[in-house]
């Protein structure tokens, strides 16, 4: 394992991502088996399962010594270990997929010592590929075969100037009641509200419907931050590597957590900038106040 060729693994993941993209595009959402997991908004389809099967069989043939953590075969309670692990969401944005809303992707991450070291995210609807290898930068390829653009897209990213100047990604998630939901909706309200009423009055809030695509957009510098609680290691692992390689930071979704684990389930991603990252995180945590999301059960 000592001399792992990260470039070769990355190249294989890109091929796998394009194959997954073909499977996703060839499925007619009106015609596929759809089921639910936690509740009626936590959706899984036959295509999610078929893509994961294809991915795990290709990767276990090519890299039999790696562990595999995939959303559709995850055993509850399993933690991400230190051994090289593929961390895979076959379709991130399944709700978009079943509604034919063209914003879903496959998210392929590799973690070693619990650190994301490769990330490949592919949205086949837009033929949009995001990739990164630790210490080798992050890239976005708009159309297969075209020249990759280095991330962030701006050659001189603007300083971050607080929440009042920020475009922030949030997600509703699938838990729609209880303390986590109450806290989230309260924070959404405060982020949007005027300063006069105690809010931060961000430029606006966005939900791409996919954690991986939200993080990729932050890495690209198209959004300033993304806050989420409730998603999983496979939603963030690939994006995490891309974000860091693009100069961004991943803080915790709860106040005070500067160094979250990949499977922490609560995150605050902030784009690369010459200044203002730490201040934006602290200002965000101030909006959360004394609250804290808890996804331990």
Tell which positions 69-88 bind Ca ion, by CB under 5 A: 71
What x-and-dash track marks residues 119-158 binding ligand IPD by CB under 6 A?
----------------------------------------
DSSP 73: G
171 binds ligand IPD (CB under 6 A): yes
CA distance 281 to 249: 10
Task: Give the number of other Cβ atoms within 10 Å of residue 164's Cβ.
Answer: 12
52 binds ligand IPD (CB under 6 A): no
Beta strands 67-70 and 266-270 are unpaired
Residue located via tokens 């509850």:
76
Q: Are 24 and 91 in contact (CB under 8 A)?
A: yes
210 binds ligand IPD (CB under 6 A): yes
Among 235, 262, 266, 270, binds ligand IPD (CB under 6 A): 235
Spatial CA neighbour of 92 closest among 127, 131, 52 = 52
> Of the two residues 98 and 133, which places its CB atom closer to ligand IPD in the complex?
98
Q: Are 119 and 136 in contact (CB under 8 A)?
A: no
Among 209, 248, 253, 272, binds ligand IPD (CB under 6 A): 209
Residues catalogued as catalytic? 71, 89, 91-92, 94, 235
Least Cβ distance, residue 121 to ligand IPD (angstroms): 11
Torsion, Cα 206 285 262 294, to 10 degrees, reads -100
Q: What value, to the nearest 5°, has the Cα angle with vertex 6 and ends 92 and 10?
A: 40
Beta strands 167-169 and 149-151 are unpaired
255 binds ligand IPD (CB under 6 A): no
Among 9, 49, 52, 89, binds Ca ion (CB under 5 A): 89
Q: In the structure encoding, which two tokens stand for residue 281, read together?
A: 């995180």
52 binds Ca ion (CB under 5 A): no
Helix (H/G/I), strand (E/B), else coil: 291: coil
Partner from ligand IPD, Ca ion, none binding residue 72, C-beta < 5-8 Å depending on class: none
> Of the two residues 89 and 228, which places its CB atom closer to Ca ion in the complex?
89
CA distance 208 to 219: 14
Among 52, 89, 245, 264, binds ligand IPD (CB under 6 A): 89
Least Cβ distance, residue 107 to ligand IPD (angstroms): 8
Residue located via tokens 């729609």:
176
CA distance 213 to 250: 15
171 binds Ca ion (CB under 5 A): no
Q: In the structure encoding, which two tokens stand for residue 273, read together?
A: 């900038």
Annotated binding site for Mg(2+): 71, 89, 91-92, 235
Chain positions contacting ligand IPD, by CB under 6 A: 71, 89, 92-95, 171, 173, 209-211, 228, 230-231, 235
Chain positions contacting Ca ion, by CB under 5 A: 71, 89, 91
Annotated binding site: 71, 89, 91-92, 235
């Amino acid at each position: 394992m000592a001399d792992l060729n990260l470039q070769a693994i990355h190249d294989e993941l890109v091929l796998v991502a394009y194959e997954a993209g073909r499977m996703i595009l060839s499925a007619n959402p009106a015609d596929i088996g759809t089921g639910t997991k936690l509740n009626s908004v936590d959706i899984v389809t036959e295509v999610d399962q078929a893509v994961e099967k294809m991915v795990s069989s290709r990767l276990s043939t090519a890299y039999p010594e790696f562990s595999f953590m995939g959303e559709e075969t995850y055993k509850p309670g399993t933690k991400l270990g230190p051994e090289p692990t593929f961390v895979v969401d076959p379709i991130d944005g399944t709700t978009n997929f079943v509604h034919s809303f063209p914003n879903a992707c496959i998210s392929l991450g590799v973690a070693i010592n619990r650190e994301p070291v490769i990330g490949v995210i592919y949205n086949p609807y837009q033929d949009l590929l995001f990739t990164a290898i630790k210490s080798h930068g992050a890239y976005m390829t708009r159309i297969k075969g075209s020249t990759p653009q280095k991330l962030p897209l701006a050659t001189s990213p603007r300083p971050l100037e607080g929440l009042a100047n920020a475009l922030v990604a949030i997600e509703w998630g699938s838990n729609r009641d209880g303390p986590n939901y109450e806290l989230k909706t309260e924070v959404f309200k405060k982020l949007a509200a005027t300063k006069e009423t105690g809010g931060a009055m961000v430029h606006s809030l966005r939900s791409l419907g996919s954690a991986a695509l939200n993080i990729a957009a932050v890495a690209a510098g198209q959004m300033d931050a993304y806050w989420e609680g409730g998603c999983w290691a496979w939603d963030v692992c690939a994006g995490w590597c891309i974000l860091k390689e693009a100069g961004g930071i991943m803080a915790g979704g709860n106040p005070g957590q500067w160094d979250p684990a990949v499977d922490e389930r609560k995150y605050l991603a902030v784009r690369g900038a010459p200044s203002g990252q730490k201040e934006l995180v602290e200002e965000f945590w101030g909006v959360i106040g004394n609250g804290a999301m808890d996804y331990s059960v």
